[in-house]
Structure 1
Amino acid sequence: MAAPAAAGFFYAPFQFRQVKSFSSSDKPSISLHAPLGISPLSLFAISKNPSRRDVSSRCSVDPNTLLEEEEEAEKEAAEKRRELNSTNLPWDTPTPRVEELFDQCGAEKDVEETTLASTSVTAKEEISNSLKFPECQNGKLAEDVAAVQGVKIRRRPPTGPSKHYVGPFEFRLENEGNTPRNILEKIIWDKESELKERRPLITIMKALENAPPVRDFIGTLKASYEHTGMPALIAEVKKASPSRGVLRENFDPVEVANSYEKNGAACISVLTDEKYFQGSFENLEAIRRAGVKCPLLCKEFIVDAWQIYYARSKGADAILLIAAVLTDLDIKYLTKICRLLGLAALIEVHNESELNRVLGIEGVQLIGINNRNLETFEVDISNTKSLLDEERGELIRQRDIIVVSESGLFTPEDISYVQDAGIKAVLVGESLIKQDDPGGAISGLFGKSISVR
């Protein structure tokens, strides 16, 4: 017998459970022998009642009893929804307790001295735990908020994983909506699963005490631009990409980073994703421990505050936040975490809608414009120019925001084009890393040497 109306019922972390309401004349029939014959509400009731988890006792239960449990679970879920909709929580700002903790710790560049020296591990853990992503804003599910804000990348499969377990039972939901729509969405879904294996936050907090001091990522970009009169270079250390495969066979991250620094890179970006880019946090740590003086950007697909703490413990000076993945509230909370730790946050946008969203968030200092279309994966550097029109460009200048052009930059003409559009920094990876001498290729990219060391 087919599963009765299972669509819309899912188990996934940070998701509110959605259940289907059945009228008294619309109650599903129940099979006592096949898990797929059990309605979602029955599974919910079983998961709440340990005595129902034994298979033999489950099969001896009277169907009327199961339906009563369904109705009870349905009433409980409805009551929770009513409470949620009637509660007016200030989702646009952190709670007073969190704000107070931030005020105590400090959130500016002196955080290295004030926060990490004076704030206990327990207090810092409380801050992080208080900044869990709210999955509901003003009574709306996070997915609904994301859709309204134009967030194109779904954080997880709409109906959860393909297999679901409730006590001893297992059932499947086959839904074409569970297929990633593009490579970035696939990466994000895998990243969510990967984070389930993370180490306890308390362990990472302790590692922060021995982390090297934070360098001024934004200040370094500004200084390079002022000194050379050309866009500051964030040179990227990456071995592979999903679209291009392996970019450098004999890959030594420390050697590449040293070469970049020697030839004029202001900062260095390090890919840390293992599955799709063959990177690692160990590469980031190795570069930092090798004495590379350039501030380091941890280029990770951030979906959880834990990743920011971990990046900091490995020596990062800045992290990447992708507006196509995160809601406005996510970005606000994550940038607060960055300020707490003294890190810069490079917020990446791909289109006009995302840029307008980010410009509406207070405190943004660094924006990256990715010239790659997320849907087609085509690269067009005119994207940088079109997004920095007169009105937005003027607003960015007034707020002293550094804009970084990313992807598709291969020639001195490309660099001149985006500089004329108003950017002050570029992030370049593929056109350098594929060369025999990645650092030596920098002068060819800019048309002259930009080394100041």
Structure 2
Amino acid sequence: MNILDKIVARKREEVIEAKQNKSVSELEKEDLFARKTVSLAAALRNASSPKIISEFKRKSPSKGIINDQVSPEVVTFDYANAGAVALSVLTDIDFFGGSFSDFLKARHANPVIPMLRKDFIIDEYQLYEAKAIGADVILLIAACLTPAEVVSLSQKAHELGLEVLLEVHNAEELAATIGENIDIVGVNNRNLKTFETSIETSIALSEQIPDSFVKISESGLKNAETIHRLHGYGYKGFLIGETFMKTVNPGTALADLQIDLTQQSNLNPLVL
């Protein structure tokens, strides 16, 4: 059993436990459930320069503890001030050290910026959870869902007013799961089964993603040169967590990258 299989198996247990603790009707009564969501897809589609989706992540299965000395409300507020187009906050507890508490602290500190609930969504119940904690976008990972599950979960997400980020790792996943209820396609440069990372994954898939979908690249994004290059392949957004989180001040790390991106754009107009 690889790490992705272990995570999904544990997630199924978590969902069963969560349903026993709080019903869907109770989630619908949460204050943030009625909040009007903010479109990340629109913000990215209208952007003329690379936009960063900054992530708050305490740890990961591949890296262990990344940063357990910072608070989500401070880091995400700094991200927003440094120009992040959106925030991503992990809510997986066992493997990534995240929580609903982290997400809610970030949400209250940043009431209007789009926020992605970063987790392994396998059940409709989790969509209601996402809405109840103030998420705008949910993640569907093609590697751990069937095409039919992607269809049903994305449709339900739209019914709840949530945007859908579909994460793929290869052409087969893309072809099998792309559909009308997907708003953003994210190409993860990290293989979730082996944790090997290569931006060539984003490059290879760039022309296979229809122009009607907003494209973002995820993982392995460490410098302005890489981001600028991928922007030339049509990627509008770049989800970055570890690169920022492993620093003492993640918000400052984003601000520094923004400066580098501006310089890179001035020095090297987009050329493939």
Question: What TM-score do you get using the length of structure 1 for normalisation?
Answer: 0.55
Q: 1:438 to 1:330 in 2, by over 3 A?
A: same
Q: Does 1:383 align with 2:201?
A: yes
Partner of 1:356: 175
Distance 1:357 1:210 in 2: 31
Partner of 1:247: 66
Q: By how many angstroms is 1:264 displaced?
A: 0.8
Q: By how many angstroms is 1:232 displaced?
A: 1.5
Q: Does 1:191 align with 2:11?
A: yes
Q: Which runs of 5+ in 1 are unaligned?
A: 1-179
Partner of 1:286: 105
Question: Which structure has the bigger radius of gyration?
Answer: 1
Q: 1:191 to 1:255 in 2, by over 3 A?
A: same
Correspondence for 1:333 among 125, 145, 152:
152
Q: By how many angstroms is 1:209 displaced?
A: 7.1
Partner of 1:207: 30
Distance 1:285 1:253 in 2: 9
Distance 1:363 1:221 in 2: 17
Aligned to 1:186, the other structure's residue is in SS state: helix
Q: By how many angstroms is 1:293 displaced?
A: 2.8
Distance 2:206 2:261 in 1: 26
Correspondence for 1:323 among 139, 142, 159:
142
Residue pairs, 1:279-318, within 5 angstroms: 279-318=98-137
Aligned to 2:166, the other structure's residue is in SS state: strand
Letter in 2 for 1:423: Y
Question: What TM-score do you get using the length of structure 2 for normalisation?
Answer: 0.90
Distance 1:216 1:348 in 2: 18
Distance 1:301 1:238 in 2: 14
Q: 1:209 to 1:283 in 2, by over 3 A?
A: closer
Distance 2:235 2:84 in 1: 16
Q: Does 1:233 align with 2:56?
A: no
Partner of 1:157: none
Tell me if the contact between 2:32 and 2:131 (Cα under 8 Å) persists in the aligned partners: no
Q: Does 1:346 align with 2:158?
A: no
Aligned to 2:11, the other structure's residue is in SS state: helix
Q: Once the two structures are superposed, what CA deviation does each residue of 1:296-316 show, in whole Å capped at 9, x if it has no partner?
A: 000011010001101110110
Aligned to 2:232, the other structure's residue is in SS state: helix
Partner of 1:26: none
Partner of 1:442: 254
Distance 2:190 2:61 in 1: 14
Higher RCO (C-alpha 8 Å, min separation 6): 2
Q: By how many angstroms is 1:448 displaced?
A: 4.1
Distance 1:411 1:369 in 2: 17
Q: Once the two structures are superposed, what CA deviation does each residue of 1:42-78 show, in whole Å capped at 9, x if it has no partner?
A: xxxxxxxxxxxxxxxxxxxxxxxxxxxxxxxxxxxxx
Correspondence for 1:420 among 223, 232, 235:
232
Letter in 2 for 1:375: K
Q: By how many angstroms is 1:376 displaced?
A: 2.3
Q: Does 1:262 align with 2:81?
A: yes
Q: Size of the alignment, in residue pairs?
A: 259
Distance 2:32 2:87 in 1: 23
Tell me if the contact between 1:371 and 1:383 (Cα under 8 Å) persists in the aligned partners: yes
Q: Once the two structures are superposed, what CA deviation does each residue of 1:97-117 show, in whole Å capped at 9, x if it has no partner?
A: xxxxxxxxxxxxxxxxxxxxx
Q: By how many angstroms is 1:210 displaced?
A: 5.3
* C-alpha RMSD of matched pairs (Å): 1.7
More divergent stretch after superposition (206-215 vs 283-292): 206-215
